[in-house]
Amino acid sequence: MTQLDAQVQAFVDQSMSYYPADAVGAEVAKQRQWYNALCLALAAPRPDTVVIKDESVLGLDGYLIPVRHYQAKPKPKPRPRPRPLPADAELNSNLQVVYFHGGGFVVGGLESHDDVCAELADFCGFDLVSVDYRLAPEHEYPCDINDCIAVVDHLLNQGKKLILVGDSAGGTLAACVANARSNYSGTQLLGQVLIYPALTGGMQTRSTQEHANAPLLTQSDMAFYHAIRVGGNESKVPKQDPHFCPMQAQSFAALPPSFLFPAQIDPLHDDCERYEQALQGAGVKVQNNTNLGIGLVHGHLRARHTSDKAAANFKAMCTAVKDLGK
């Protein structure tokens, strides 16, 4: 395994002190307790240029889905005299980033990724909505993807132009939503940014073997998360369902422009490579930023203020979102 630099190793050590390596063997309530403590310990102060509002969206089955809106305040710029608004001002006012958090479909929520979402909104100057989709095992698939689709449909029906962003399990959901609503690509669905996503549904790849015992996400962790989404019964995992696994889609041709950000030292690294090949084969614009993830581990979003490599990768992610909104 590639040796981590001192900054990334310090991040791993700090994370492991809150979230033990064998955590998936514990009760889910305990897993959430550990994860919440980790997120709180590593959280950065929220930028004061972002206004937050919590709301709910009516789901497909009547469930009220909690969402959190992040409105980026315009940053003041000294101007000698009044100037007309830029040509893209109307687009930006109608543009919405939709964020789906990671956590293996089991942990996470509005609070776990609050600082990430706030910083992303602040950097891009775009409004953002974070989706608190239902978690397993209390709510089995397809509750998670149905909640995500319901929020996206709600925004599409408002005429919003959307950029989908997700990390880890949230990357899975973002890619599934992009496929489910690919008919909006080129009009209202502007693109997707996937951060160390799970895309192949547990397919055996070189990286699952080479990094089977990688820090912060192992192959056994992946197997647990993959099965618990359907109640822990592997026999219930869908085999040809693009709402469950992005790579199970029959066609990728209508997907929007896509930016992929894998971590090198991660069993999921090659998922981005497989997805990139599928999108390229379908003629979809895709950029796999594999070089930016060299020396980084799964979950490195939380190291963006303590690791130079993670900081550079986060900046590139934000830039990708901003470019999609131009």
**How confident is the prediction for the chain on average, in pLDDT?**
93
100, 78 in Cβ contact below 8 A? Answer: no
Q: Which contacts (CB < 8 Å, 24+ apart) does range 10-15 have?
A: 10/306, 11/297, 11/300, 11/302, 11/303, 11/306, 11/307, 11/310, 12/215, 12/216, 12/297, 14/41, 14/42, 15/42, 15/215, 15/216, 15/299, 15/302
Instruction: Please give the tally of structural domains in the chain.
Output: 1
Q: Mind listing the pLDDT tens digit for each residue in 4-44?
A: 999 999 999 999 999 876 788 899 999 999 999 999 999 99
Whether 84 maps to a domain, the answer reads no
Lowest mean per-residue pLDDT among 29-33, 161-165, 229-233, 267-271? 229-233
- Distance (Å, rounded) from C-alpha 242 to C-alpha 246? 5
Whether 247 maps to a domain, the answer reads yes
Whether 102 maps to a domain, the answer reads yes
CATH number, domain at 54? 3.40.50.1820
Segment 304-321 shows an average pLDDT of 98
- Which pLDDT does position 93 carry in this prediction? 72
Whether 255 maps to a domain, the answer reads yes
Residues annotated as catalytic (active site), given as ranges: 168, 266, 298
> Helix or strand or coil: residue 252?
coil
Whether 241 maps to a domain, the answer reads yes
pTM of the model: 0.94
- Which pLDDT does position 20 carry in this prediction? 75
Whether 81 maps to a domain, the answer reads no
Taking Cα atoms as reference points, which of 252, 97, 220, 277 lies closest to residue 170?
97
Whether 199 maps to a domain, the answer reads yes
Whether 80 maps to a domain, the answer reads no
- Which pLDDT does position 215 carry in this prediction? 94
Q: Mind listing the pLDDT tens digit for each residue in 63-122?
A: 999 999 999 887 666 555 555 444 444 446 799 999 999 999 999 999 999 999 999 999
- Distance (Å, rounded) from C-alpha 21 to C-alpha 35? 12
Segment 145-158 shows an average pLDDT of 98
Domain holding 292, by residue range, is 6-74+89-324
